[in-house]
Amino acid sequence: MRIGMVGLGRMGGNMAERLRRGGHEVIGYDRDPRVSDVGSLAELVDRLQPPRTVWVMVPSGEPTRAVVAELAELLSPGDLVVDGGNSHYADDRGHAERLGAKGIGFVDVGVSGGVWGLHQGYALMVGGTEEDVRRLMPIFETLKPEGEDGFVHAGGHGAGHFAKMVHNGIEYGMMQALAEGWELLEASDLVTDVAGCFRSWRSGTVIRSWLLDLLVRALEEDEELSRLRGYAEDSGEGRWAVQAAVEHAVPLPVITAALYARFASRQPDSPAMKVVAALRNQFGGHAVTSAEGGRAKGADSPGADVAPPIETEK
């Protein structure tokens, strides 16, 4: 097939290369002229023969909405737009309606595989009509890993990105569990080979997984992870998963806690913990640490003022 690819970053560029290796003709457009085959979206559309297929791999939100809006004006009835980025599922129905009014098809695809996808294939979670999905199957077959797994037509418009959102939420929880396990092992005086523990778990255990393999790889490169700062961004899909859980009244304690842990990682000095420390000092006289790093006396420390007596109701 001939396909246009908009966005040739780490994911889009590797996906375009995998498609080319699979025998497809890919015409790529990117704002970076060093990697782009054409100078504009209009030129990209002109280079494709009807019925055209354009796959969009740009950041979610306004960048994706802007590209889809521009394509709606450039494409013709019978053409097809694929959003393979990490878009919010709620945007997909709007795109489908806007493009459908002009006779243009729309398919949303949640893509997982990261930088390894070029060689190992990409897991694809697809939303759209049976007709549009069937038309894209040669592309999907090339992008997905070999074998039966790695692809699902999850449902109608929005289902692909909804499935990917849940996938990423699960990923948040799994990564957080591995991270907490590593921290606890590091804190123990009993365990002297933390990295070895994780290596040993790769075979014969119920927690063996690709994420565990990647953690072992990271520890082999830097056993103490001393070159890293304890700061983690979130892609947005963890937030959307928690929001969707509230809307559907589905409890997500693990995924929610993992998301909040990422928020906490961005606070060099937690405002909430300041309140907790102040309250502990007030009600229990517990010592607190000053902003300058010194340790202030608590109410029960030698030389501290005696805490006022508690008045009882008369």
Q: What CA–CA distance (Å, rounded) separates 304 from 284?
A: 13
Nearest Cα neighbor of 136 from 84, 93, 86 is 84
Strand-pair partners of 165: none
Question: H helices of the chain, where?
Answer: 10-21, 41-47, 62-74, 89-100, 117-120, 130-143, 159-187, 194-200, 210-221, 237-248, 253-265, 271-284
Q: What CA–CA distance (Å, rounded) separates 170 from 175?
A: 9
Catalytic residue, chosen from 17, 43, 70, 171, is 171
Residues in the chain, overall count: 314
Q: Does 171 participate in catalysis according to the annotation? A: yes
Q: Does 186 participate in catalysis according to the annotation? A: no
Catalytic residue, chosen from 97, 164, 220, 221, is 164
Grouping H, G, I as helix, E, B as strand and the rest as coil, residue 226 is coil
Phi, psi of 22 (to 5 degrees): -85, 5
DSSP state letters, 13-43: HHHHHHHHHTT-EEEEE-SSTTT-SSSSHHH
What residues contact 221, with CB distance under 8 A and at least 6 apart?
A: none
**Residues belonging to the active site:** 164, 171
